[in-house]
């Protein structure tokens, strides 16, 4: 099936640092979504991107829909301990409606 390559797989950073993670694919996506999952919980939508080149912010989070429609990145500025969790990118393909393809996740650990 279609794959999203998400990197890095894990990050261990100091509180206050900025974080960047990205997803790439060989396929063109209509939508890019970024979710965060806390331990024992379901993924929660952070940012949704619907247009190529779109740059969207949600507080300290910023995400962009790549101009080629094959990639997206998520930046977190001035990380805090509650940013700890697993971040997933997901996308919808043009022929797949709302069916999501997920990346493998980036596990973020923040040291106070």
Residues that bind another protein (CB under 8 A): 30-31, 33, 35, 40-45, 48, 50, 88, 92, 94, 97-100, 102-105
**How is the chain split among helix, strand and coil, in percent rounded to 5?**
5, 55, 40
d(CA 16, CA 56): 21
Instruction: In angstroms, give the least distance from the CB of 13 to another protein.
Output: 21
By C-beta, is 79 or 101 nearer to another protein?
A: 101
Tokens of 92: 């919808």
What is the Cα–Cα distance from 7 to 52, expressed in whole angstroms?
Answer: 20
Nearer of residues 68 and 78 to another protein, judged by Cβ? 68
Q: What single-letter DSSP state applies at residue 68?
A: T
* Beta carbon of residue 18, minimum distance to another protein (angstroms, whole number): 26
Structural contact between residues 50 and 79, judged by C-beta atoms closer than 8 angstroms: no
Instruction: Give the nearer residue to another protein in terms of CB position, either 78 or 96.
Output: 96
CB of 55 to another protein, least distance (A): 16
């Amino acid at each position: 099936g279609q794959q999203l390559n998400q990197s890095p797989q894990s990050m261990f950073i100091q509180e206050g640092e900025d974080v960047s993670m990205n997803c790439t694919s060989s396929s063109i996506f209509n939508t890019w979504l970024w979710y965060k999952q806390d331990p024992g919980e379901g993924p929660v939508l952070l940012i949704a991107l619907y247009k190529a080149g779109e740059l969207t912010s949600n507080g300290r989070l910023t995400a962009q829909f790549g101009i080629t429609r094959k990639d997206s990145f998520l930046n977190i500025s001035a990380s805090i301990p509650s940013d700890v969790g697993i971040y997933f990118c997901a996308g919808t393909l043009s022929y797949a409606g709302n069916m999501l393809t997920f990346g493998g996740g980036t596990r973020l650990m923040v040291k106070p």
